[in-house]
Structure 1
Amino acid sequence: MKPLLLVSLSAAALCVSACGKKAEPVENTAATSAAEPAALAPAVLSPGQAFANTAAASDAFEIETSKLAASKAQSAKIKSFAEQMIKAHTDSTAKLKTAAAAATPAIAPDAALTPAQQQELADLQTKSGAEFDRAYARLQADGHQKTLDALKAYAASGDVAPLKAFASELVPIVTAHLNMAKGL
Structure 2
Amino acid sequence: MKHSVLLAVSIAALGLAGCSKKAETPVADSSPAASDVSLTPPVAATPTSPGQAFADTAAASDAFEIQSSKLAATKAQSAKTKHFAEEMIKAHTDSTAKLKTASAAASPAITPTPTLTAAQQQTLDDLSSKSGADFDRAYADAQRAGHQATLDALKAYSATGDVPSLKTFATELVPIVTAHLNMAKGL
* Post-superposition offset of 1:42: 5.7
Distance 2:135 2:43 in 1: 38
Distance 1:40 1:65 in 2: 38
User: What is the CA RMSD across the aligned residues, in angstroms?
Assistant: 2.6
Distance 1:102 1:165 in 2: 11
Q: Tell me the percent identity.
A: 71
Residue 103 of structure 1 aligns to a residue whose secondary structure is coil
Cross-structure match for 2:21: none
Cross-structure match for 2:137: 134
Distance 1:79 1:40 in 2: 49
Cross-structure match for 1:48: 51
Structure 2: which 5+ runs fail to align? 1-28
Q: Which has the larger radius of gyration?
A: 1
If asked which structure has higher relative contact order (CA below 8 Å, sep 6+), I would say 2
TM-score by length of 2: 0.78
Structure 1: which 5+ runs fail to align? 16-38
Alpha-carbon displacement from aligned partner over 1:62-120 (angstroms, at most 9, x marks no partner): 00000000111000000000000000000000000000000000000000101111111
Matching of residue 111 in structure 1 with residue 114 in structure 2? yes
Matching of residue 60 in structure 1 with residue 44 in structure 2? no
Alpha-carbon displacement from aligned partner over 1:21-73 (angstroms, at most 9, x marks no partner): xxxxxxxxxxxxxxxxxx99964311000000000000000000000001110
Distance 2:180 2:128 in 1: 22
Distance 2:92 2:50 in 1: 22
Cross-structure match for 1:21: none
